[in-house]
Structure 1
Amino acid sequence: MILHVGLDTVNLNGQGFEALVKEGDVVTAGQPLLKVDYAYRMKEEKDTVTLVVFTNLVEKAIHLLNTGKIKHNQDVVVDFD
């Protein structure tokens, strides 16, 4: 999975982000992956659009279960089988 938080943020040199996991870590449902300082991002006038890209899903079905506003630790967004 790839998380891409914001647009045109490369010039921030990592400021405003704190990774809570690293590549290869096993994570569980509800575990925070990243902290984002949205106030800093807005001050720097960077768009906060967030992309989530799922990789290596060959021969898996993806089911979108929720759209719009999602409640932390309550709503499942996607399911794979």
Structure 2
Amino acid sequence: MKRLVGKPVHDPEVQELANKYLQASLKYVGEEAMHAFGKLEDEEIEDFQSMMASPYTEEEEKWLDRVIEYYMIQNGMYNLNSNQHNGK
């Protein structure tokens, strides 16, 4: 991941990373938990994230968030018009 940070979110290699990241996340925490996380408000997400150590810098995490959001939009998993928790 660190090698790809800063590349455009639509780069095929970056999107392959997003796919692998989401698949690993689903396998690790389970699909039900992932859906529950998607319904949390920003403050709840920040509280949850603060309890977990991250191997990424703040900049890397922001980039990864953009990558995952783009991936989910492109794959019909996320609708900006109905998303309430990111203010869009």
Please state which band the TM-score falls in when normalised by the shorter chain. Answer: under 0.3
Considering Cα pairs closer than 8 Å and 6+ residues apart, tell me whether 1 or 2 has the greater RCO. Answer: 2
Work out which of the two has the higher radius of gyration on C-alpha atoms and give 1 or 2: 1
Structure with greater strand percent: 1
Structure with greater helix percent: 2
